[in-house]
Amino acid sequence: MPRFAANLTLLFTEVPMLDRPDWAARCGFDGVEVLFPYDISMTEWEKALNGAPLALINTPPGDWASGDRGFAAVPGMELQFRDSFLRAAEYATRLGAARLHVMAGVAKGPMAEQCYTENLAWAAAQAPGLTLTLEPLNPDDMPGYFLNDYDQAARIIDDLGLPRIGLQFDLWHAARLHGDAHAVWDTHRHRINHVQIAGFPARNEPGGGGFSLPDLCDDIDAHSPQIWVSAEYRPAKGTAQGLGWLTAMKARSALIGD
């Protein structure tokens, strides 16, 4: 059975951020991820994690309130991208993050793609010990975001040909972008190095959308057992009260002897 991580940005918001890793562990998660850890020092994070695995962080987005969503694909923002990437790489390395999601930013057109590929190649060379992920985001949630199609992301990954850059499969965004998240998974499974799950269409607890979580986990076990499956959803009520899906997956794992 895959390892399950709790996305601390969306889950356990009933308690302060630095209390959430402990809550996640006590509720049965194997590790955690956090979208943007940068408002808290690495020393504080080390203490809060207390040895818990960190599955993923994102590169800094810039000024979110002003519309920034990263810089990797934004022409003219190369210096901002490099500064933000090096900061993210420092956090990821010190905290032992398994994956670093490189945010593309708001941009479009051939110049944006050229900027994106050049920045990604630079980033991979600067951080040879890190595995990078690219995540397509749907335009309803992230208007104007450059990377908004799984086939587009796959083409860029294939053109780069760098084994440490892979595809981040978010069930919610895949379903919003392409309608059939299962087809996206089947097409791009060999490129995927991180998975995020949520219910569809409400983005609450996992379930719905024509995607079987047990089947997904079996497929990961068979082909990519190193992949983390992260719960990135908005709990319908309290986080702990909605973890029946995790309890069921753990019980299934015990039953089949994983």
Instruction: Tell how far CA 99 is from the center of its chain.
Output: 8
Catalytic pick among 33, 113, 205, 232: 232
Q: How far apart are CA 88 and CA 238, in angstroms?
A: 31
Most distant CA pair in the chain: distance in Å?
54
Closest CA to 195 of 163, 234, 168, 226: 168
What's the one-letter identity of residue 226?
Q
Please, are residues 227 and 33 in contact by the beta-carbon 8 Å criterion? no
With H, G, I as helix, E, B as strand and everything else as coil, classify residue 57. strand
Rg of the chain (C-alpha set): 17
Tell me, yes or no, if 232 is annotated catalytic.
Answer: yes
Task: Output the DSSP codes for 162-183.
Answer: -TTEEEEEEHHHHHHHHS-HHH
List the structure tokens of 175: 């379903």
> Does the active-site annotation cover 118?
no
User: Can you say how many angstroms the Cα of residue 49 is from the centroid of all Cα atoms in its chain?
Assistant: 18
**Catalytic residue set:** 135, 232
